[in-house]
Amino acid sequence: MTARKYDIVIIGSGLGGLVCGVVMAKEGKKVCVLEKNIQYGGNLQTFSRNKAIFDTGVHYIGSLEKGQNLHRYFEYLGIMKELKLLQMDKDGYDLITFDDDETVYRHAQGFEVFGQSLADQFPEEKEAIEKYVKKLVETCESFPLFKLKFDTNYNPSIMEESVSDVLNSLTTNERLKVVLLGSGFLYGSVKPNTPFAVHALSVGSYIQSAWRCINGGSQITKALVKQLRNHGGEIYKRTEVIRAEVENERLKAVFDQNGNRYEAETFISNIDPKLTLKIIGKQHFKKNYINRIENQTPYISVFSLYIVFKKEAFPYRNHNIYHFRNQENVLAATNYTPAEWPENYMLSFAPSHKQKDSAESMTALTYMHFDEVKEWEATFNTAADENIRSERYQQWKNEKTEQFLRKIEKKYPDIREKILSIDASSPLSYRDYIGVENGSLYGYEKDASNPFRTMLTPQTKIPNLWLTGQSINMHGIVGVTIGAMLTCKYLLDEQEFLAKLTATAP
């Protein structure tokens, strides 16, 4: 057992934790990041099947054109030049399709082009689409850090506008509404009370520009870890924080599973806030704060297929597909019945390294409630070569794989004969590998009818314990990066930090 002392200890190496680690190390702080898994990165983790690389959570990224916000954040972090990227189709990076409609609806890159593209398909709704795009831009710009600014005039009431309220105020065309909401998988699900701001920040980022990470999102992790170490930071995997020491109402130290002690002036938790409370000890928090955290509702989880294609068998598509059984299912896809599951799915493709017009692989994702795997919730597995769950679980997973594949075959009737291998993951996989409650896709649900209850802030009731990650403020690559910058803002001289942050060339 060892005892180490730092300025900053960060629990969890997801994107938020790594961004905080690099920022604080750049500022001269002695930083240590602790990760329980065998791989850093949280949702940025990747894995391989038949030499094809698959992402666990990051299938494409927005706002990476030079001068755009995520590009500028990544430039500041020193990782932009490390990334291998492929820009997706400018005239349709996301395609929205339906069983009962042969029309393919395109989400194009660039706000003006996005609006014009949809106006071409809904000519009678041109004015409504223009108002929607304007509202999208205004909403994004209402968040200061989206513009790389610290603005005390931010109005949190913007979270009180729901997607249904905004769209209903713009148009009565139900097909247009669901096309605009078709990529709702980006933010966990579309419900009538989802804040329009959550929709706007997610969709708006991709409309600016949309990119695939060649060889997966783990390259972001590798680049951030490299920068962390370049600035003197330390990072350890297979190091699970299991308990804490609190002294005079401040967090003094945390301990890993081997009894090693990590003392620091400041701690940042990048893990599920409910787990954070458990580790630190609920007795150190006020009852109303505990209730607020524990009453958060996790987003629905996901069932995924990881398909490797035979050589040059399936054409590469430089876009994603969001498919629905019918337009009613856009707002009700999470309320599926076992017989109709899946009501919707997302398809994301990866190009072959040798034959760029061929797809090497495809990931298919659809919603799934954790209740479906409740029977096996006591099992835990993060080793791909071990199957510690029952034969009944494997049988269930095979049945779900077949049911999902049959739905995809309706769109691609000959896909089965082109498949080399197929694997699947359930909400249990996501829970175990990412460490989120019930395998939640994006942390906790946001609700426009009660935004102050569902929006968590970086501050906790322990003065030297801070939070970051997808459950704090916004999720997604842009949202988590901005959230991490907000956490760091509280720990640094605000004006000096802003000057350095905005020094990156626009």
Per-position DSSP letters for 120-139, written without gaps between them: HHSGGGHHHHHHHHHHHHHH
CA distance 62 to 69: 9
Tell me which DSSP letter residue 39 carries.
Answer: S
Identify whether residues 415 and 317 lie together within a single domain.
yes
Query: Radius of gyration (Cα) for the chain, nearest Å?
Result: 22
CA distance 141 to 396: 46
CA distance 62 to 94: 12
Is the residue at 90 inside a domain?
A: no
pLDDT of residue 504: 61
Is the bond preceding 342 in cis, omega lying within 30 degrees of 0?
A: yes
Identify whether residues 307 and 390 lie together within a single domain.
yes
Q: Any bridge partners for residue 344, and if so which?
A: 324
Query: Quick one: which of 233, 232, 242, 279 has its CA closest to 465?
Result: 279
Q: Which residue has the tokens 């983790």?
A: 45
Identify whether residues 348 and 230 lie together within a single domain.
no
CA distance 320 to 212: 10
The CA–CA distances, whole Å, from 58 to 46, 87, 212 equal 9, 15, 9
Strand bridging mode 250-256 / 344-351 = unpaired
Identify whether residues 420 and 271 lie together within a single domain.
no
CA distance 112 to 134: 10
Asked if 236 and 35 count as a contact pair (C-beta separation under 8 A), the reply is: yes
Identify whether residues 154 and 226 lie together within a single domain.
no
Phi, psi of 210 (to 5 degrees): -130, 135
Identify whether residues 448 and 495 lie together within a single domain.
yes
- Torsion sign (Cα): 474, 478, 482, 487: positive
Is the residue at 99 inside a domain?
A: no
Domain boundary pick from 208, 224, 244: 208
Is the residue at 93 inside a domain?
A: no
Is the residue at 219 inside a domain?
A: yes
CA 245 to chain centre: 31
- Residue 202: give the domain boundaries: 112-208
Is the residue at 104 inside a domain?
A: no
Identify whether residues 257 and 396 lie together within a single domain.
no
Identify whether residues 335 and 373 lie together within a single domain.
yes
CA distance 19 to 233: 12
pLDDT one digit per residue (tens) for the chain, 506 residues: 788 999 999 999 999 999 999 999 999 999 999 999 999 998 889 888 988 899 888 889 999 999 999 999 999 999 999 999 999 999 999 999 999 889 999 999 999 999 999 999 999 999 999 999 999 999 988 887 777 776 655 566 778 888 889 999 999 999 999 999 988 887 766 677 888 988 998 899 999 999 999 988 999 999 999 999 999 999 999 999 999 999 999 999 999 999 999 999 999 999 999 999 999 999 999 999 999 999 998 888 999 999 999 999 999 999 999 999 887 767 767 888 888 899 899 999 999 877 779 999 999 999 999 999 999 998 887 765 455 688 899 999 999 999 999 999 999 999 999 999 999 999 999 898 888 888 888 888 888 888 777 778 899 989 999 999 988 878 889 989 999 999 999 999 888 888 888 876 55
Identify whether residues 323 and 380 lie together within a single domain.
yes
pLDDT of residue 22: 98
Is the residue at 133 inside a domain?
A: yes
Q: How many domains does the chain have?
A: 3
pTM of the full predicted structure?
0.93
pLDDT of residue 20: 98
CA distance 453 to 446: 9
Cβ count near 377 (within 10 Å):
14
Is the residue at 89 inside a domain?
A: no
pLDDT of residue 385: 47
Q: Which residue has the tokens 């969709």?
A: 203
CA distance 262 to 245: 10
Identify whether residues 154 and 246 lie together within a single domain.
no
